[in-house]
Each structure stands twice: as C-alpha cells, then as structure tokens.
Amino acid sequence: MRTFRELAGRLEERGDDPVLSFQGRTVGGCELVLQARRIARALLAAGIARGDRVCLWLPNGPEFVAVELAVTLVGAVLVPIQTRYGARELAAILERAQPAMLIYRRAFLQADLDGIVGRVCPDSSGSGARRRLVSLDGSRHAGVTGWDDLLAEAETVTEERLDAVLAAVEPEDPAICIFTSGTTGTPKGAMLSHRAILTTERAVGDAMGFRPGDRVLYGAPLPSVFGCCNALVASWTHDACLVLLPTFDAGEALATIEREGCTVIYGVPTMFLMLLGHPDFKPERTRSLRAGIVGGAPCTPDLAAAIRETLGVRDLVNGYGMSETCAVISLTRVGDPVPVVVETVGRPLPGVELRIVDPNIRDALIPAEAGEICVRGPNVMLGYFNGGDGPIRPFQEGWFRTGDLGTVDGDGNLRITGRVSDMILVGGFNVYPVEIEGLLAGHPAVMQAHVVGVPDARLGERPVAFVQLRAGRSVTADELAGFCGDNIAKYKVPASFIVVDGFPMTPLGKVRKFELKKMAEQAMA
C-alpha cells in the first residue's frame, strides 16, 4: 500500500468486519469508509484542496478516525493537535501550520476548547476570516460552522468528482504533519508522506506479530505519531481492530481488555505501571493479551518482567523513534531474549539505515562508540513544514540527525545512551543522564528518576536528580548519594536529589526535561 486511498480500499474489503471499537460500539470497514467519503466530499465542497492543512483538535473517538481518513483521502494534510493544549500552544500551531480549516469539539475533560478557539481566532467570522472553523457539537461564537452543516455541503460534490481527486494523490504527497511534542522546546511540524507512514507502520505490525482479527488496545492520545500513524495504521494494514479508549484510565483499560478480549496493547511505561498497580488488577483479567509495545521512555528490567509475566504480554517489544520518523526507527522482535528487550531498542526496520557520528564534527564513529544517531530510510519525514517555501530538510546526504546518543552492538541492536542536548559536561567529563536514571531506577525505594544538568561555577555543570518513590517507601538524599557513589564515578553522582510526586509530561507521557531543568536551577539557586 502506498496511499491512504489504498488503505481505505483494504478497509472496504473487510465489509462488516470491525476495524474500530470505542466504548462498546464497533464500526465495520465499509461503514467507516462510507463515513470518511462523505466527510471528504464535504471538505471538497468547503474548498479544501490537495496540500491544504486541516487542523484536528479532537479527543480520541470515531470522529477523529473518520476525519483523519477523509483528510488524507483528498490529499490534504492532517495536523492533529493535542486536546490538552492551551491557548498559547494552539495559537503557535495555527500560526505555523497555516491551516485552511480547524475542526474541534467544544470541550475536553474540564477544558473549554470553544472558549480557547474564540480567544485564539477572533477573526473567525466575516470575509476576512483566515480559516474556516468547524465545531462537532456547536459553538457560542459567530462564524463557526456546525458539523451537520458542513456534512450537508457534501451533497454538492459527486462521488465521481471525489474519485477523481482521490486518484490524483501521490505516494510522496504529505499526509500528516505532526508537531513534535516539545520535550526540549518549541514544537516543529514534521511532514510525513503517505508512503512513509504506510511502509513504516506495516513493518511495525510485522515486527510485533500482528494477526488478522487482533484487537489492539490503545489509550494514549490519537493526536500523536504513536496514535494516528503507528497504532491506527499498523492495525489496519494487518486486518486488526483498533480498540480505542477516550483517555487512559487504568480501571477502564482493565475492563476493556476483559470485555473486548484485547490481544495487543500499546503503552508507555507509566501506563503499564498504572495497570499493574491498580487495586482491581488480577492476572486473569488480562489473560487475552499476547503482544504489546512499550515506548516513549526507557523500560526498566523489573517493569518489563512484570509486563511479560504478570500482565501476560509475552511477546513484548521495545522500540525507538520520533515524530520525524513515523514513530519508529528500530524495534526489538518477538522472540528476542529478555536482556535485548530491556537493554536495547532493537534493530532498524527493513530499509532503514543507522550510523553513529561524532555530534560535534559529524564524522562517523565505529558502532560501539557512543555518538549521535543518524537515520536514513523510507520512514524519514519529507521535512519540517515551512509554508509556501517548501519543507525545511535538515538532512545531509539523506541522513537525519536525531539528536539522540547511542551505540550499536555486534548483533545490530541499538542502545540509547542519552540526548546530545541532555549531555552534562562536569569538569570536562561527559555525563549521560540515562545512565544515572537507570541506576536510580534499580534502587528498591525508587519508582522513576530523571536527571538534568544545572550550571556550576567550579565544574561547569552538575547533575540533579528528580526522584519519584514507590508507595510506602522512603529514602534520604545521603542514602541515594551513597548508592550512586558505590556504582558510578563520583563526578556522575547528582549534586542534589529532589523527591517529587510526579513529573511534567507531554500528552503522550514523555517527560518535559526543559521544565525539570528550570525547576532544578530554581532549587539550586
């Protein structure tokens, strides 16, 4: 498959076979494609053309899925926006994406999305409106089109015209523009082509051992590359059904796994910790699970063992990737030994090349040396969105610099050792936070730890550790310092240990390290 049109054809061939399940309601392949085609005709009637950006500010649900399929079918570019974003974040993405349309829902959890839209888009009515605003469930603002009114416009576009538009879409056309999660600063829009998404996610499903009829549980936000690209497309290219949660709630996830007989699960480490720690968890409730992926952050050996042995996910894989690479660069494989799954992020996907370079002078290093990870292959983005000037392509001979540090072992397995921007220079010595974080996670009192660098007048920088303790456990800073000092060089031992109840996170569950850095600098001032 090379375009979303071909993916829709595969869904249509499945007839009434469920391709999506949400809160007990299933949607068959034919039904979903019919919905998407009607939305697509409405988009054409509204003037949406090939290459136009359509921003989607919707929570997890069937509407998100149908709109995603419709937008990509007509050759427009889907720009998903996290529903937890506020006014400043929404305004920044609208300014950068320059969309022709914004589709949104009035509210999400306790957030008044309609109120935010009114503040961010005061020019939504009249002939000077820069973009069309569409609300799924009404709006209190003038100039906002209702969902039913938009769909009614579909009657002015014939199926024949729609088919002609669909046929003109090319595999290298951009399909989805993912604005990076902003763990280290301002998000940028990664433009992903039809071919890149479909090729990559098909390979992901192969590596995870997806089977026809699998029921794939997904509870992270769909407006992320992990969701609207990886989980959704990997499921559909393997004739599986995506079982979607509105948001991740461990109790609801357990009930859904049991009710739906889910066989595959997507998650980040925090989600698996919440499942295993839920008071209503019993191993028999998750006995239908067979396979799963843990991504977004390092997975400790203890957690991996619990996911496999207690949760029942025997075919667990671990992966590495980012928005710029359709979510995945490398994966462990079903059947890999446990040390490979927990200590590495596996081998590159088929057709994907890796090389390790010196982050300063960009010369290639031997794989066993730690350096910056560069990637080249069918999974890499077209570039960052840059308006009418075309995408910004931060490549040298096709290689994309990830900003992550790693090594490759003799079996081709990639190990992540940190980020170029996270590296702490202590008195001339390089210190990688991931090493200290992994060590602290092995302490019996520690559940999670994250390390950042702060300025130091004598040494240049010093590491500071933020530590979340296990329930009912306690530990002193001196004890943690002694534990570290017994296991790593003294210059790597954190200058301070700050106990926290939780960490500032992106909607997908990644830690915002730049916020931790600010907190550390304030604490050490």
Q: What is the 3-state secondary structure (H, E, C) of 150-182?
A: HHHHHHHCCHHHHHHHHHCCCCCCEEEEEECCC
pLDDT tens across 101-150, in order?
999 999 998 889 999 999 999 865 443 456 899 999 999 999 999 999 99
Q: How many angstroms separate the CA atoms of 393 and 391, rounded?
A: 6
- pLDDT for res 270: 81
User: Nearest to residue 414, comparing CAs of 320, 323, 337?
Assistant: 320
pLDDT tens across 33-48, in order?
999 999 999 999 999 9
- pLDDT for res 105: 97
β-partners of residue 418 are: 405
Three-state secondary structure string covering 260-284? HCCCEEEECHHHHHHHHHCCCCCHH
- 3-class secondary structure, 54: strand
- pLDDT for res 127: 39
Q: How many angstroms separate the CA atoms of 231 and 236, rounded?
A: 9
DSSP conformation class of 490: G
User: What's the CATH class of domain 424-524?
Assistant: alpha beta
- pLDDT for res 444: 95
Any idea where the domains of the chain sit in the sequence? 4-189, 213-218+250-419, 424-524
Question: What's the predicted TM-score (pTM) here?
Answer: 0.85
DSSP calls for 113-164: HHHHHHHH-TT-SSTT-SSEEEETT--SSTTEEEHHHHHHGGGGS-HHHHHH
Fold assignment, 213-218+250-419? Rossmann fold (3.40.50)
Using 70 as the pLDDT threshold, list the residues of the chain that sit under it: 123-130, 181-186, 361-362, 428, 508
- pLDDT for res 315: 97
Q: How many angstroms separate the CA atoms of 103 and 79, rounded?
A: 10
pLDDT tens across 171-212, in order?
999 999 999 855 445 678 999 999 999 999 999 999 999 999
β-partners of residue 452 are: 464
Q: Are the folds of 213-218+250-419 and 424-524 the same?
A: no
CATH 3.40.50.11540 is right for the domain spanning 4-189: no
